[in-house]
Amino acid sequence: MLTFKPQQVTSKFLKILNDRTRDVLEKRYGLTGSGTTHTLESIGELYGITRERVRQIENHGVQTIQRSKLYDEHASIFDELEVIIRDHGMIVDEAHLLDSIAARKEHRPHILLLLNVGKQFARTKENQHFTDRWHIDTGVASAIEDALHTLDVFRRSITRANTSIGGSALPSASIKIRLANGVLSKVQTFALREFVITPTLL
């Protein structure tokens, strides 16, 4: 449970922006009306500008908020979000993160804006191995992803070996021992249980 109301905070931040920049952010994140998000292209068509120009306006809006006195006054909010991500193992699936902190669906776009505004947060887009995710330490995030990828390779090799000899899977205890001695040693001080990955991985 958050100790602040996301909509109230984002409303304050948006008020320091000029009309067009505020409108771009509201449309990009779906902060008003039905909550529908708009693409760079659709906003560009509305304003008669290129998608790259829309991206520049969006980035400028975020940077304006970050440089404002208001941002410093709300440092505790970003600290609170950072603690949540740390408690989830330093890196966390975006959907899972939103499920855990935004009980009401209409709060989610505002949480996403705050995460993008927060200087300590970084988002990595979905790829063939992982879903969209947030982290607060690039080095840790890379180590965890490398370990999980290696774990997947290990799992696949075991599956292929057992299939080729017509045997059953190795006992889970044996697998856990081998993993503990190898793959997971990379991230032994970090919790992985809350990190949700795409179904194709494990």
At residue 64, the pLDDT reads 98
pLDDT band at 188 (very low <50, low <70, confident <90, very high): very low
CATH number of 6-123: 1.10.10.10
At residue 165, the pLDDT reads 53
Q: Are 81 and 118 in contact, with CB atoms under 8 Å apart?
A: yes
Give the closest residue to 76 by CA, choosing from 174, 165, 4: 4
Tokens representing residue 66 in the block: 């970050």
pTM of the model: 0.75
Kindly tell me if the per-residue pLDDT of 200 is higher than 70. no
Helix residue ranges per DSSP H, 104-137:
108-117
* The residue type at 179: L
At residue 115, the pLDDT reads 98
pLDDT (tens digit, 9 = 90+) per residue, 51-94? Answer: 999 999 999 999 999 999 999 999 999 999 999 999 988 888 99
Signed CA dihedral, 33, 37, 43, 46: sign only: negative
Mean pLDDT comparison of 116-120, 153-157, 170-174, 192-196, highest-scoring range: 116-120
pLDDT above 70 as % of the chain: 78
Name the least confident of 26-40, 62-76, 156-170, 178-192: 178-192
Q: Are 197 and 147 in contact, with CB atoms under 8 Å apart?
A: no
Helix residue ranges per DSSP H, the chain:
6-14, 19-29, 40-47, 51-66, 69-73, 75-87, 94-101, 108-117, 138-165, 172-181
Residue tagged 């992803």 (tokens): 145
